[in-house]
Amino acid sequence: MTKLTGKIALITGGASGIGLASAKRFVAEGAFVYISGRRKDVIDAAVAEIGANVRGIQADITSQDDLDRLFSVIKSEKDHLDILFANAGVGELVPLGEISSKHFDYTFDINVKGTLFTVQKALPLLKPGSSVILTGSTVGVMGTPMMSVYSASKAAVRNLARSWAQDLRGTTIRVNVLSPGATKTDKVMDLLNPEILEGLANGAPLGRVGDPTETAAVAAFLASDDSSFMTGSEIFVDGGYAQI
């Protein structure tokens, strides 16, 4: 596995779940990977688990100062980025009638505003031909009970990719969306009870929920030159859940 040899990558939300699995896959494919997240202890544990060719930086994508510091470190150490995987995101179950301003702001500040400024502040470091990957979700194209705010945030992310593909004309920088379905991460297991997970598994043609390594494999494809003629696109890794 060498499709990312010599490339420099940043994965936000890279210390757990799909982000961590992707960091491991990118390193295995030959990349040097920066991972960022809000909790230093989790980042340090992820760096130790990955081993070589990885650097962890504590940063909150809702903080402009943290983002500036993050990209300043990358600039000083590696001078550029070839891959940006804007993966950091959150989700909560809140039905209509119980939605608060706090819930809305928390979700959109991270999933939309944080993603936007992560990408915008990374632009000066992105080389021609770089790949930007945004994490979407099956709920961005579906109606899902108790997840209207999260779903709307991921629908916004999907449109950011479409619009940015236009904005980036002439740069050869690509931007695509990777949209997982239900996936066995600690975050998902904490958020959804076993009955909901079983229902999601039964609703997918493949009859199960996904593993983070399966999404990471598609992230590696989008990060590599194998996807060189793709931009503004969305790839689902959902066992067919949102496709039928």
Can you tell me the distance from the alpha carbon of 168 to that of 174, in angstroms, rounded to the nearest whole number? 8
Phi, psi values for residue 97, rounded to 5°: 105, -20
Which residues are known catalytic residues?
150
Q: What DSSP string runs through the chain? A: --TTTT-EEEEETTTSHHHHHHHHHHHHTT-EEEEEES-HHHHHHHHHHH-SSEEEEE--TT-HHHHHHHHHHHHHHHS-EEEEEE---------TTS--HHHHHHHHIIIIIIHHHHHHHHGGGEEEEEEEEEE--GGGGS--TT-HHHHHHHHHHHHHHHHHHHHTTTTT-EEEEEEE-SB--HHHHHHS-HHHHHHHHHHSTTSS-B-HHHHHHHHHHHHSGGGTT--S-EEEESTTTTT-
